[in-house]
């Protein structure tokens, strides 16, 4: 009996933090629930380095989840909710930040890197396909001829030099 009581107490204590994490929000319909879930997936926790609202247990993430729920229930549009968040936390809070001067580098960098990659690739293949060396100048031609003549002269005298 005492053991059972102890176990029950232990279970109560252990399950306390788990209870604190679960939030149950009521929605009128499934669309509201889906919008809520989409928002907490898409919005970034401002306190955390890389977590969305649904994944974070920080106090600010809880507050923002509550705020999103309130605004959905108050009939605010997605644009209004997004604007509300950006007004307070900047583009940082959006996992897909809107295109502007501050976020341009984020959006354009992959494209720029791709273009650089393509340019390097094009350069390398064009170099590989063109004949190596190119035209010989007159001076080169004379030097070559001299070497060849040298070789021809040597052969009979040296007798089997490899």
Partner 1 sequence: MDRLKLFLPLIIFLVLAAVFFGVQRRVQTGDYSPTALPSALLDRPLPDFSLTTLAGGQLSREQLPKQWLLVTVWATWCPSCHYEHPFLVELAQRGVLILGVDYKDRRQPALQWLAEKGDPYFATVFDAQGQLGLDLGVTGAPETYLVDARGLVRFRYQGALDQKVWDREFAPLIATLESEVMP
Q: Using CB under 8 A, pick the residue from 33, 46, 52, 73 that binds partner 1.
A: 46
Kindly indicate which of the ranges 25-33, 56-64, 74-82, 153-161 contains the residues binding partner 1, using the contact rule CB under 8 A.
Answer: 56-64
Lookup result for tokens 């002269």: 153
Is residue 86 close enough to count as binding partner 1 by CB under 8 A?
A: yes
Kindly indicate which of the ranges 29-37, 54-62, 108-116, 149-157 contains the residues binding partner 1, using the contact rule CB under 8 A.
Answer: 54-62
Tell the burial category of 67 from Cβ atoms under 10 Å away from its Cβ (0-12, 13-18, 19+). Answer: middle
Q: Which residues, 6 or more positions from 43, have their beta carbon under 8 angstroms from its beta carbon?
A: 52, 53, 64, 68, 85, 93, 94, 95
What is the distance between the alpha carbons of residues 85 and 66, in angstroms, rounded to a whole number?
13
Is residue 59 close enough to count as binding partner 1 by CB under 8 A?
A: yes
What is the distance between the alpha carbons of residues 96 and 114, in angstroms, rounded to a whole number?
20
Is residue 96 close enough to count as binding partner 1 by CB under 8 A?
A: no
Is residue 49 close enough to count as binding partner 1 by CB under 8 A?
A: yes
Interface ranges with partner 1 (CB under 8 A): 46-47, 49, 58-60, 63-64, 67, 86-90, 92
């Amino acid at each position: 009996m005492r053991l059972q009581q102890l176990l029950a107490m232990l279970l109560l204590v252990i399950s306390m933090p788990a209870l604190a994490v679960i939030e149950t929000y009521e929605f009128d319909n499934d669309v509201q629930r889906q919008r809520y879930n989409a928002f907490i997936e898409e919005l970034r926790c401002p306190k955390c380095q890389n977590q969305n609202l649904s994944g974070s247990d920080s106090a600010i993430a809880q507050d923002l989840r509550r705020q999103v729920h309130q605004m959905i229930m108050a009939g605010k549009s997605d644009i209004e909710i997004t604007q509300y968040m950006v007004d307070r936390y900047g583009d940082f809070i959006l996992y897909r930040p809107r295109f502007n001067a501050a976020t341009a580098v984020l959006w354009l960098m992959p494209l720029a890197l791709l273009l650089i990659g393509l340019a390097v690739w094009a350069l390398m293949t064009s170099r590989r396909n063109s004949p190596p060396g190119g035209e010989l100048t007159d001076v080169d031609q004379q030097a070559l001829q001299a070497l060849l003549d040298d070789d021809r002269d040597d052969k009979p005298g040296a007798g089997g030099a490899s």
